[in-house]
Structure 1
Amino acid sequence: MLTNFNRDCELMDRLETNFLRILCYDFEQYYTDTYKSYEYARLCTILEGEKKVTIKQDSFTYDQKEFLLLPPYSEVHMKIDTPTKALVFELDDDLIKKTSENVSREYDVDYLALIEDQLLCAQGSAELQNVLYRIIKVLNSPSKRKEYLIDIYAQELVYHLFRVKGVYQLLTGGPDIPINKALQIMHSKYMYPLTINEVASELNMSEANFSHYFKKIMGINPKEYLTNLRMVKAKELIVHSSVTDVAYDLGYNNISLFINHFRKKYGLTPKQYQKKIQTGNDNSFQRKPTSRTFIFK
């Protein structure tokens, strides 16, 4: 068990597999120090107790129900107010790459947060907690094949991490990955008369090659994706604006095309939807409670 953040101690007292480096910490009350990640991203979990984390001027506390994810070469300040045991995983780049390439793109991604130098604190799902439990069970077992068994669980661990909003772009290289750059452009400019050819040009790709690349990863072609973005916003704007204003606000020069897209998406014309809203028959704007997630820049 490690009792501090000394890098030399971390290198000597850890379990290393092909995909992970696992560090176990046992902190006394009132321990405080600067905590760093190095060449790999770090998944920080708590077995007992809690940690207070400060980055720049922001502070928060997390416990067993949550995890902290640090990209490589990050630095935060941590304070331990109660005796705390923690388990930290350094995630190998090959593990992240292999997992991201072999599962479908179904992650809840915050595309507007595609930036560097951020960390993320979020609540772990039941599936993620289950994988962590199995890894801990292997760590505490007398098995001589611990490393092999842990690597079996490692891909499942990263897969469930990817399903937490904000994790995918933090682990897969940020805004410079072509698909991430394309999504960032679409999410920031969909209210302008943006075309797929313009997005492709930003990536130095032909429209045909870009469309093939995009569909292979996202499951739909970029034109459909961009239209869906606009329709989601249209449903919000149409409550208080005219059909013509909403169409122009979303980059449509052809009002009929906008109406056709809206009807195809929602089964109603914009005018019909407005009437439905006025009679109070639409509940689609009710928000569902979400677990807290912090993305610090």
Structure 2
Amino acid sequence: MGTKAIQLPNRETQRMKSYREELLERIARAVPEDGLIEPLAGLRLYRASSPTEPLPGVSDPTFCVIAQGSKEVYLGTERYRYDPYHYCLGTVELPIVSRIVEASKERPYLSLVLRLDPSLVGSVMIESGHAVSSSPVDAKAFDVSPLDAGLLDAVVRLVRLLDHPEEASFIAPLIKREIIYRLLRGKQGDRLRHIAILRGYTSPIARAIELLRRNFDQPLRIDEIAREVGMSVSGLHHHFKAVTAMSPLQFQKRIRLQEARRLMLHEGLDAASAGFKVGYNDPSHFNREYKKLFGLPPLRDVERLRGYNGKRSGRDSVRRVRAA
């Protein structure tokens, strides 16, 4: 018994090592140059040869695995870091800040992102016996957990389909279901309920998030939002922060400031006009809030982004956080 107990962990370690090496080799081959590709529906592969500065953006409901390098994601005041030994799961569209920490030409950052479809998640939950309830889910909408052999094995098998496109249309959906099932059985199972519940807009918190996103440029009237979603003000604050790691006011500020940044970068608006368009009537207040989030006043930040590395456009800088 003692010998078997020793052999099993060693065998598991070897399996994990083999899976990680294969995933690294396959992603490196599929993405030979820096950039993002989507070789299968809902599957994105990404490569970067240098670290990045912190870039604000919006998280998607996704399952993310890193084959090489590491990344940090900031949600509110919380920081998450993951690498080839961990995966991250995001279940609600949230304003985040992220940066690639480890990457070089010799050892580029390589990652995989699987978009999680709400209807598929709900289907797997029902078929596997995981109850779908419309009650509030207080698990945070973003977290990092260790990768296990079964989950990594499924990821590698999905990437292998890139060499067999004739099989992908039939087999890929089956492997995606397996990945969702394994996530449900793992440490982040409760978090997946956000996708089936929040993304289905049957939850008060989901409706509150949608209202804030849709009306981000309007004055925040938390009592009206609470009344519309059928919660008390204190209950809304509690559940909203439990899911998003931000208060409704902090959430609104981030959405406003990221939209103002986009308007200046993409549409050429000046700071005062962009601030006014997203709901700031006082330019000085807008400048202070902008600098607090992005580290520089609006004009200097936009100039920096436009000249970032002499290669990437401001549009790339804002949107790149959607890639893992």
Q: TM-score, structure 2 length as denominator?
A: 0.45
Task: Work out which of the two has the higher radius of gyration on C-alpha atoms and give 1 or 2.
Answer: 1
